[in-house]
């Protein structure tokens, strides 16, 4: 049986205010092409289908289109909810949706109750474990410990108990949305720590033939049979060196697994660059970044005037700007109340401009600020 493992679509998410819906739609196009060309039997989506519990309507529409198009290929689909999704909302009408060949698992009651899909060698049991918030599962499952490990251990206990009741040799796949110890995180995953206990060991998933993991946004192997597919698009600049795509997994008659990573196109490369603004705007070695989405760190001793406007003349897709002057900046160790006591509003504004830019304001800027405050006072007096 051939599987395609993907996760962390985050439909509806933006990237530093850049709307990604068009890029996400292009990802769905490529996903469908890959399902057809690779003759995929089952598509696995390991959580974070949406970016938030109440997604925008255009993201919901794209999700519906993706499911319809997956089924049009003839493939089946098994999906779980992630920590960004609403378990209750994604669990709506699942019995009706099941009949179409799309199996969305988003409730505690379905953990340990597999989707059975047959091939020429017999059935494969697909167990969906949605993201398990420890506080939510602790009471219904009567857990003594409030942690992700306790929640996943209990869920996998239900999986193993069900699998033990099935005919010998039944192949098994688990979908889970969790942070496995040793996994490499990026800046775009939402923190799921509970009392410092966010991680679960890879051995949690022992006993099944393949574990399709979601949550971490970089593709990686967690042992021989557990893998993260990563997100199909970059959602933070920390992902600049990640290769995006999906795992194509072949499950043989005995449950043996072979997997290859299929790269997916990205809408625009991302990069982080740093240097003095004049060098960035003139040196030829930076030319290769003119088409990238950029995070730029300026190292000038003093903050340049209008840096974003100037950078975007050469790098039109600059999205984020930081300032880290060479040699650092002296610590401001004065007491704030003492420093501001007796000073008028224009002086405070001008002080802030001096601090933010790293250079004194000009006479014209000082006149502009004082004129603005005078105009405000005049208007207030006229009321």
Give all strands (DSSP E) within 139-244, no chain letters: 171-177, 179-180, 199-200, 210-214, 220-221, 226-228
pLDDT of 221 over the 80 cut = yes
> 2-263 adopts what CATH topology?
Purple Acid Phosphatase; chain A, domain 2 (3.60.21)
Chain-wide mean pLDDT for the chain? 91
Characterize the bridge pairing of strands 226-228 and 245-251.
unpaired
Give all strands (DSSP E) within 281-336, no chain letters: 293-298, 318-323
Q: Would you list the domain boundaries of the chain? A: 2-263, 269-329, 340-383
pLDDT in tens, 347-375: 888 888 887 777 788 989 888 988 888 77
* Chain mean position to CA 99: 30
**CA–CA gap between residue 15 and residue 23 (Å, rounded):** 11
DSSP-derived secondary structure letter, 344: -
pLDDT in tens, 80-139: 999 999 999 998 888 889 989 999 999 999 999 999 999 999 999 999 999 999 988 999
Query: Which range, of 144-148, 166-170, 279-283, 375-379, averages the lowest pLDDT?
Result: 375-379
Rounded to the nearest 5°, which phi and psi values hold at 122? 115, -165
pLDDT in tens, 8-63: 999 999 999 899 999 999 999 999 999 999 999 999 999 999 999 999 999 999 99
**CA–CA gap between residue 192 and residue 83 (Å, rounded):** 8
Average pLDDT over residues 192-221: 85
pLDDT band of 195, cuts 50, 70, 90: very low
């Amino acid at each position: 049986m051939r599987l395609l493992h993907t996760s962390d679509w985050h439909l509806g998410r933006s990237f530093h205010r850049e709307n990604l819906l068009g890029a996400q739609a292009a990802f769905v196009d490529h996903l469908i092409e890959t399902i057809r060309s690779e003759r995929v039997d089952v598509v696995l989506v390991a959580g974070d289908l949406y970016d938030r519990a109440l997604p925008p309507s255009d993201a919901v529409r794209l999700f519906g289109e993706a499911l319809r198009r997956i089924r049009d290929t003839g493939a089946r689909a098994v999906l779980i909810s992630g920590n960004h999704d609403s378990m209750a909302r994604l669990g709506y009408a699942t019995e009706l949706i099941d009949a179409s060949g799309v199996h969305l698992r988003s409730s505690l009651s379905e953990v340990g109750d597999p989707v059975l899909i047959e091939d020429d060698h017999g059935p494969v049991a697909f167990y969906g474990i949605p993201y398990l918030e420890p506080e939510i599962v602790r009471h219904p499952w009567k857990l003594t410990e409030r942690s992700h490990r306790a929640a996943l251990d209990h869920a996998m206990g239900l999986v193993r108990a069900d699998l033990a009741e099935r005919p010998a040799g039944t192949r098994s796949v688990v979908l889970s949305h969790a942070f496995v110890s040793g996994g490499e995180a990026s800046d775009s995953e939402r923190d799921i720590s509970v009392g410092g206990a966010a991680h679960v060991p890879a051995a949690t998933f022992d006993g099944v033939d393949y574990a399709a993991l979601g949550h971490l946004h970089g593709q990686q192997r967690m042992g021989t049979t557990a893998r993260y597919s990563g997100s199909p698009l970059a959602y933070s600049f920390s992902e600049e060196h990640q290769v995006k795509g999906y795992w194509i997994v072949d499950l043989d008659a005995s449950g043996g697994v072979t997997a290859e990573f299929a790269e997916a196109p990205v809408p625009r490369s991302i990069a982080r660059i740093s240097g003095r603004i004049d060098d960035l705007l003139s040196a030829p070695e930076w030319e290769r970044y003119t088409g990238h989405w950029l995070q730029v760190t300026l190292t000038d001793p003093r903050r340049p005037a209008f840096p974003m406007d100037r950078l975007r003349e050469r790098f039109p897709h600059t999205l984020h700007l930081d300032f880290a002057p060479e040699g650092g900046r002296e610590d401001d160790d004065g007491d704030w109340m003492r420093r501001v006591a007796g000073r008028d509003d224009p002086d405070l504004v001008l002080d802030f401009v001096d601090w933010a830019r790293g250079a004194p304001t000009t006479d014209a800027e000082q006149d502009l600020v004082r004129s603005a405050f005078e105009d405000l006072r005049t208007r207030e007096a006229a009321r």
